Amino acid sequence: MRTTIPVAIAFLTGVIVVLATWFRDDSFIGGLKQELIIWLTIVGGFTLLLGVVSITRVSWGSIQRRSDGWGYKALTLLGVFAMAIPSVLSPTWSTAFGRADGSIYDWLFNYLQMPMMSTMFATLAFYIASAAYRAFRARTVEATLLLITATLVMLWRVPMGEYFLNLFPGDIPSLLNTYIMNGVNLAVQRGIMIGAALGAAAMSLRIMLGIERTYMGKG
């Protein structure tokens, strides 16, 4: 029963969602799909709560043992609860509560989290440049084409580089946008998306048929 019931639920849920594609939202099948989406949101909320409980237990254990990096764990817990607690308190108690403009949550998000995210992505740019230098070495014809294309695209993406490309005849930025970004690049992206969609469909079918049972803790 521990295996049969979860597999049956997964099968019925998958069938309803697939069938709802050919029915309107106000039909019986469409209504079931909307109900399942609501339940998905509820389960996702409990999953988020479980994640908060898990990171709290792990981090608090490291803080108590004074293990390596326990200070960072303390900052993690401070950040989690400093963002979470004010955001769920009623704004009627104080204008600092809730998620409106000027609240604690809004201030921490705009003046702490956003700058940290910008700093992280700015730092990643150096690692990307380093990885590109190692990957784009012109050892073969294909690598040479990749190096030339990547260099032109990176120049086109920054104002200084676009100004430099406009010094040459032929409107190179327009050609890059038309033939590289909206041509070759878009075709490759669509191929990757089709492959990912086929993989997701295959995995969904395996779950519906009970072949894939890793979500139950089984291989």
User: What are the residue boundaries of the structural domains of the chain, listed by start?
Assistant: 1-86, 89-125, 136-219
Question: Could you tell me the pTM of the whole model?
Answer: 0.57
HSE value, Cβ hemisphere, 13 Å, CA-based, for 219: 0
- Please name which of 54, 121, 63, 110 lies closest in space to residue 83, comparing C-alpha atoms: 110
Residue 92's CB is within 10 A of a number of other CB atoms, namely 8
Question: Tokens in use for 118?
Answer: 């910008």
pLDDT reported for residue 199: 92
Q: How many CB atoms lie within 10 A of CB 17?
A: 17
For the chain, 219 residues long, give each residue's pLDDT as a single digit of tens. Answer: 667 787 788 888 888 888 888 888 778 888 888 888 888 889 888 988 898 899 899 889 888 888 888 889 898 898 888 888 888 888 888 878 888 888 888 888 888 889 988 898 888 878 877 777 777 666 778 777 777 777 777 777 778 877 777 777 777 778 777 888 888 888 989 999 999 999 988 988 888 887 777 766 655
Amino acid 138: pLDDT: 63
Say what the pLDDT of residue 196 is.
94
Report pLDDT for 218.
57
Single-letter amino acid code for the residue at 40: L
